[in-house]
């Protein structure tokens, strides 16, 4: 974390609404973020998801924007990527999203996008924090509704993909969240026969037993309804998982591999693909076979986005379903990723598409007294090196401390589930012997 950043985490400021993320903090963030722009009269878009705390935080954030002399434009409930698209399309200075993504309804968050639709970097977030208590009083701005934001977003999607989905039967699980209007609308506009679930938000049911974090609901509906494919979004709509007609779940690795192969075959892939250390070894093997270069970052979509920007590449993402195609928008967009999947499938079914062969994976979280102590645990790293050498060319080992909990995560991928489990068991034993 950059110096000066205490409130901002890997995806904005996030915490329990009303206790950590209060109206006072939201106002201060709106005021500071607007003042940091150093513009004469900044224009700031605010969108939110469906949490019951959303309107309160939206109002407080807008008050802060106006207090710093900016105009707050309230876009209402829209997916996170819509903010990144609209801030650029409308020529605004800043966009703010009130959402806690896949977290329970009690949590909420605030994250910002600059005028180009990119998430604020560490340095920009540090500047916002530095201004929290120091913005002087001055002329105030206005707060007003922004009409037509949803339609603008849908037009951008339709223009970018230009698909004819007539006759395609699709189930969409919108997690009772920010995609509950947009996702069914764009699929229907493109001709698909849509069954939508998770489209009755009540302020508290966002991500509750539905969406990409609870994909069982979608699997059951696809299997029972005769649809050929299903997509599950998270609460703010920046990630997606897919389910084929046979009920098999396809994660971000598989969807990225499908897109990369299709783009590369048409000479439309700019550079290679960026993924995180959590991507399955089978992904790397498939990309090598296709002649596609892969770059690897730490876990977190912001690291993927930073690396895409640094390399000038156009495609990347995470196993969890964050898929970033910078030709459309410089952040994860679950709806765009779903449409990308449909484009790459053409007339084929997802069940028949084999863009990569996943290796069996075993993951164990080992509780330790001090997660940072693993850095100096020589016996642990010696064991990791031995096991990695034995799996070279066939699988891999990943051992890392949790960023937030007293845990060391041990992950092994191998040609068989039995071998993956055996290697993981040996490594877990070493970690426990050395660190517990």
Q: Among all residues, which ones are annotated catalytic?
A: 101
Euclidean distance between CA atoms 288 and 273, whole angstroms: 11
Contact 239, 215 (CB under 8 A): no
Euclidean distance between CA atoms 283 and 324, whole angstroms: 16
Euclidean distance between CA atoms 199 and 186, whole angstroms: 14
Give the residue carrying structure tokens 């996030």: 14
Give the residue carrying structure tokens 């509704």: 145
- The DSSP string of 389-400 is HHHTTT-EEEEE
The set of residues, in sequence order, having a beta carbon less than 8 Å from that of 385 and lying 6+ positions away, is none
How many Å from the N-terminal Cα to the C-terminal Cα in the chain?
Answer: 27
The set of residues, in sequence order, having a beta carbon less than 8 Å from that of 420 and lying 6+ positions away, is 359, 360, 361, 362, 395, 412, 413, 414
Euclidean distance between CA atoms 261 and 268, whole angstroms: 10
Work out the number of other CB atoms within 10 angstroms of the CB of residue 123.
11
Burial of 270 from C-beta contacts in 10 A (0-12 / 13-18 / 19+): middle
Euclidean distance between CA atoms 383 and 99, whole angstroms: 41
- Displacement of CA 174 from its chain's centroid (Å): 15
| Planar angle of CA 172, 85, 271, nearest 5 degrees | 90
What does each C-alpha distance from 375 to 222, 371, 383, 431 come to in angstroms? Answer: 45, 8, 13, 12
Retrieve residue 248's tokens: 């098999």
Retrieve residue 325's tokens: 């195609």
């Amino acid at each position: 974390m950059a110096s000066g950043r205490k409130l901002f985490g890997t995806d904005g400021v996030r915490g329990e609404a009303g206790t950590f993320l209060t109206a006072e903090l939201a106002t201060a963030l709106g005021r500071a973020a607007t003042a940091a722009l150093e513009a004469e009269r900044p224009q700031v878009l605010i969108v939110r998801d469906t949490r019951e705390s959303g309107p309160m935080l939206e109002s407080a954030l807008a008050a802060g924007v106006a207090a710093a002399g900016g105009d707050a434009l309230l876009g209402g409930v829209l997916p996170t990527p819509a903010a990144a698209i609209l801030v650029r399309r409308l020529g605004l200075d800043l966009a703010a999203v009130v959402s806690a993504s896949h977290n329970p309804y009690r949590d909420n968050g605030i994250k910002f996008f600059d005028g180009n639709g990119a998430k604020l970097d560490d340095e920009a977030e540090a500047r916002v924090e530095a201004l929290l208590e120091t913005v002087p009083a001055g002329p105030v701005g206005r707060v007003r509704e922004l009409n037509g934001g949803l339609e603008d977003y849908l037009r951008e999607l339709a223009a970018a993909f230009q698909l004819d989905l007539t006759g395609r039967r699709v189930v969409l699980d919108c997690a009772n969240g920010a995609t509950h209007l947009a996702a069914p609308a764009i699929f229907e506009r493109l001709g698909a026969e849509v069954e939508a679930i998770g489209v009755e938000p009540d302020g508290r049911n966002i991500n509750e037993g539905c969406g990409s974090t609870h994909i069982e609901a979608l699997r059951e509906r696809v299997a029972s309804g005769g649809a050929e494919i299903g997509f599950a979004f998270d609460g703010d709509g920046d990630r997606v998982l897919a389910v084929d007609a046979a009920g098999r779940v396809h994660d971000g690795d598989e969807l990225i591999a499908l897109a990369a192969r299709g783009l590369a075959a048409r000479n439309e892939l700019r550079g290679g693909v960026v993924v995180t250390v959590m991507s399955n070894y089978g992904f790397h093997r498939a990309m090598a076979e296709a002649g596609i270069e892969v770059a690897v970052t730490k876990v977190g979509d912001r690291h993927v986005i930073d690396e895409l920007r640094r390399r000038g590449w156009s495609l990347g993402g995470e196993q969890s379903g964050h898929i970033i195609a910078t030709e459309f928008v410089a952040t994860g967009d679950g709806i765009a990723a779903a449409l990308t999947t449909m484009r790459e499938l053409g007339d084929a079914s997802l069940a028949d598409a084999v863009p990569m062969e996943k290796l069996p994976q075993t993951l164990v979280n080992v509780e330790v007294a001090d997660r940072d102590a693993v850095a100096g645990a020589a016996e642990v790293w010696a064991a990791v090196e031995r096991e990695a050498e034995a799996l070279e060319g066939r699988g891999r080992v990943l051992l890392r401390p949790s960023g937030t909990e007293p845990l060391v995560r041990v992950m092994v991928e191998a040609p068989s589930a039995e071998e993956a489990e055996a290697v993981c068991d040996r490594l877990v034993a070493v970690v426990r012997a050395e660190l517990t």
